[in-house]
Amino acid sequence: MVKNLQTLGYIEGSTIRYAVRASQDPADLASFATELIRLAPQVIYAQGDQAARAAAAASTSIPIVAMTDDHIASGLTDNFAHPSRNVTGVSRLEADLDTKRLELLHELVPAAGILALRDPQTAWPSRTTQLEQSALRLSVKLQIQDIREAGDVADAIARGQAAGAEAVLVLGSPLLSSINVDDQIIHAATARGLATMVQIPNMVGRGHLAGYGVNQEAALMRVSYMIERILKGAAPGAIPVEQPTKFGFVVNLKTAKALGLTIPAAIFSRADEVLE
């Protein structure tokens, strides 16, 4: 974010100042939001649904630009074109992307059973329902295991495999995308010979089979433009919530070979990057 705003001409310490609060523990977010509100910033940037909800609960007047899974499902607005509160930003619509990831994983690993790892803090009911409906169309037995901390991963994957899962779909959330949890997912899945599909394409090189998701750099650039508009006087309600237009699909051929998988030719033609 700082780099993007620098591209737009904002120089830290000269034309802009930042106050940063970050934590992987959702319990910290409310107090962090309160601290930031006390600083009376011109705009708050929130990464993720939970952070955005915490900021919106702390202030109904300070403009908030958020990157979320779904602004509407998170209760941040009821209208993308005309945000109804003090929050705008980019809404990734992860429910649709979860379905796409399931389809791609099923194509990569024609599995009868797939385990989805879910962060219950960020998985609203309609998101799960949409995924279950997609699994039904694909004739896939979908299991869903909740992950609340890194220590839950190994047991969840063991239970999933015991119940017939042949691959693992990691549903996007700040927790499941954090390095310590991701390490546990890679270790546990690899030990059991299970392929993994993740939300963030540039994490595939860590050992996952594949990743499909929003081009984070492009999305953050859009967020930066929104922040700039607010700094120049625009109200959040005048800035429509945007949906991503750029996505990435990355496949790890080295991981595929280690798992004894043959990547279908159609996948090669659709992948944006194949890691050797």
Confidence label for 212 from pLDDT (cuts 50, 70 and 90): very high
Q: Could you give the C-alpha distances from 237 to 53, 58, 84, 140, in angstroms and in order?
A: 17, 18, 6, 42
**Higher-pLDDT residue of 173, 59:** 59
pLDDT at 27: 86
Residue 174 has pLDDT above 90, yes or no: no
| pLDDT value of position 68 | 92
What is the pLDDT, as a whole number, of residue 224? Answer: 97
Mean pLDDT of 73-102: 93
Give 125-163 pLDDT, tens digit per residue: 778 899 999 999 999 999 999 999 999 999 999 999 999
The pLDDT value given to residue 25: 79
Q: Where in the chain is the domain with CATH 3.40.50.2300?
A: 2-92+216-245, 94-214+248-275
In CATH, which of 3.40.50.2300, 3.40.309.10, 1.20.140.10, 3.20.20.140 is domain 94-214+248-275?
3.40.50.2300
Give the contacts of 38 (CB within 8 A, at least 6 positions apart): none
What confidence tens digit (pLDDT) does each residue in 93-135 have? 888 999 999 999 999 998 889 999 999 887 777 788 999 999 9
Per 3-state DSSP, the chain is made up of helix, strand and coil in percentages (nearest 5) of 45, 20, 40
- Angstrom CA distances, 64 to 90, 192, 205, stand at 11, 43, 33
Which CATH architecture is the domain 2-92+216-245 placed in?
Answer: 3-Layer(aba) Sandwich (3.40)
Is the pLDDT assigned to residue 197 strictly greater than 90?
Answer: yes
Q: What is the pTM of this model?
A: 0.89
Name the pLDDT band for 91 (thresholds 50, 70, 90). Answer: very high
Q: Using CA atoms, how far apart are residues 129 and 131, in angstroms rounded to an integer?
A: 5
Over pLDDT 90: what percentage of the chain?
A: 83
Element (H, E) at 179: helix 179-191
Instruction: Please name the residue that has the structure tokens 């910033």.
Output: 41
Q: Are 23 and 45 in contact (CB under 8 A)?
A: no
Mean pLDDT of the chain: 94
CA distance 275 to 56: 40
With pLDDT > 70 as the criterion, what percentage of the chain qualifies? 100
What confidence score (pLDDT) does residue 142 get?
A: 97
228-274 pLDDT, tens per residue? 999 999 999 999 999 999 999 999 999 999 999 999 999 999 999 99
